[in-house]
Amino acid sequence: MASSSPPPKSFNLAIIGGGIAGLTLAISLLKHNIPLTLYESASQFGEIGAGVGFEANVVRIMELISPKVKEGFLRCANNVDRDPPVWFTVRVGDQRKADGNGVVLQRDGKDMKIGEPLFDMPARPGPRGGVHRAHFLDELVKLIPASTTQFRKKLVDITQVEDGSGDALLHFADGTTAQHSAVIGCDGIKSRTRELVLGKKEAEPVFSGKYAYRGLIPMEKAKEIMSREEPQTPQMYVGYGGHVLTFPIANGTLMNVVAFSSRKTWEDPEWVVQTSRSDMLADYSSWSPTVQAIMSAMLKPDIWALYNHTPARTYVQGRPRICLLGDAAHATTPHSGAGAGMCVEDCYILSSLLADATSVEDLEKAFRAYDQVRRPRSLKLVKESKEAGMLYDFEGPHGDDLEALELNMKKRMDWIWDADLSIDLEKARSIVKESG
């Protein structure tokens, strides 16, 4: 798989979890000839039948990790874009914001009506777009030799091997164990590795105050409901206590729908629950006919309770060596559309640092440098994403002031999309060097 052959490493890694983070990390590490085994609790790789979007900054990182990751992404991404590129076109979807004539805002003497485009949130140029999660995962899986992965391996504990090596002994639910120099936890929001690093209480996810209906609509049906063009580009309908996103996936053959609503608490121990069509429609009873038609047309909608992590004081532990990556480290709400993008960024930085490492001592230094560089940025996303969700739902500091919302929304992704990760990588490399 590697194009050149760097010197062999004197360490051997375990990756826990084969989602977007674990698979991308495995590809990144294998490129640098780093020995690893990926342990996945499920019997095969799999993602849910929903969409996920990646912006141009992330696709550039995919290419740095491996041009094949970018090619895989492009094979399943939606290719329709506007010039200049647009993240979402924003409209009001909630009739309570409109006056008797359907007007939601007066701009330059013109009436802006409910459902009309109010403004675009500009994106950045370059390949980007929405993919069906399962299709993208399939593309990642193709890049990993089957011998790298062990399925039905649910991690339950990690102890230290008593031979002075500091190695980790992984304990699985099936009673087996495995020894590795270090463990990289990519086991998602309900991460066991996070519990081991932070303790059960600190690791626990918290309910974000939002839940979402997720579903897909065949593109031809979506064009009947909206217009010929609208479903082919991302749309956001804002309102009181909720917002509705649509964007094309699966090369434009499906429209992905995520419809958010607010509530104070989530009591159900399950985070994904079935819903009845009538209960779902009741949540949007005061929304426009277009939004109601979108909701009615969703194939098999599910409700997802949206949880996020509280800020972790560290992503790494010394003995046994554990490093957290992706949602295991910083699970976020999806309102900035960047949780999976952060996973990809984590993989790029960590794998680049590990490519330079040759010993277990280097490994520990690399983990600490990764922690210092990645934690501030990824924790900022968790905070900002929650604020974004409240903003779109008229629950932020601007309430339902559409002009103030526009100013805020057009700028708030800049720090995510315009970051130069090569600077972060250089900083991390200096931290490694300075640590002797």
Ligand X SMILES: Cc1cc2nc3c(=O)[nH]c(=O)nc-3n(C[C@H](O)[C@H](O)[C@H](O)COP(=O)(O)OP(=O)(O)OC[C@H]3O[C@@H](n4cnc5c(N)ncnc54)[C@H](O)[C@@H]3O)c2cc1C
Residues making contact with ligand X (CB under 6 A):
16-22, 39-42, 52-53, 153-155, 186-188, 192, 212, 214, 258, 304, 326-327, 334, 337-341, 343
Shortest distance, position 342 Cβ to ligand X, whole Å: 7
Residue 312 CB, nearest approach to ligand X (Å): 14
Minimum separation from the CB atom of position 21 to ligand X (A): 3
State which residue, 16 or 114, has the beta carbon closest to ligand X.
16
Report, in Å, the least distance between residue 358 CB and ligand X.
28
CA dist., res. 345 & res. 352, Å (int): 11
Distance, in Å, from the CA atom of 82 to the CA atom of 324, rounded to the nearest integer, reads 37
Q: CA dist 277 to 20, 213, 263, 273, Å?
A: 31, 11, 19, 13
Place of tokens 């960047």: 338
Based on CB atoms, which residue is closest to ligand X, 209 or 339? 339
Give whichever of 20 and 144 is closer to ligand X, judged by the CB atom. Answer: 20
Q: Closer CB to ligand X, residue 187 or residue 393?
A: 187
Closest-CB residue for ligand X?
19
Q: Partners of 89 in the beta sheet? A: 120, 235
Residue 341 CB, nearest distance to ligand X (Å)? Answer: 4
CB atoms within 10 A of CB 75: 13
- Closest CA relative to residue 91, chosen from 220, 246, 211, 232: 246
CB of 92 to ligand X, least distance (A): 22
CB-wise, 119 or 213, nearer to ligand X? 213
**Nearest CA to 351 among 9, 28, 3?**
28
User: How near is the Cβ of 313 to ligand X at its closest, in Å?
Assistant: 19
Question: CB count, 10 Å around CB of 267?
Answer: 7
Q: Cis ω on the peptide bond leading into residue 205 (within 30° of 0)?
A: no
Q: Phi and psi dihedrals of 389, rounded to 5?
A: -60, -40
Spatial CA neighbour of 48 closest among 212, 195, 261:
212
Neighbours of 381 (CB within 10 A): 23
Rounded to the nearest whole angstrom, what is the least distance from the CB of residue 326 to ligand X in the complex?
3
Residue closer to ligand X (CB basis): 202 or 302? 302
| Smallest separation, CB 178 to ligand X (Å) | 12
Give residues with Cβ within 8 angstroms of 122, minimum separation 6.
84, 85, 86, 87, 410
Angle at the Cα of 330 from the Cα atoms of 260 and 19, rounded to 5 degrees: 80
Angle at 354 between CA 10 and CA 9, to 5 degrees: 15
Cα dihedral 118, 121, 126, 129 sign:
negative
The residue (of 11 and 247) whose beta carbon lies closer to ligand X is 247
- Which residue lies nearer to ligand X by CB, 40 or 283? 40
Active site amino acids: 214
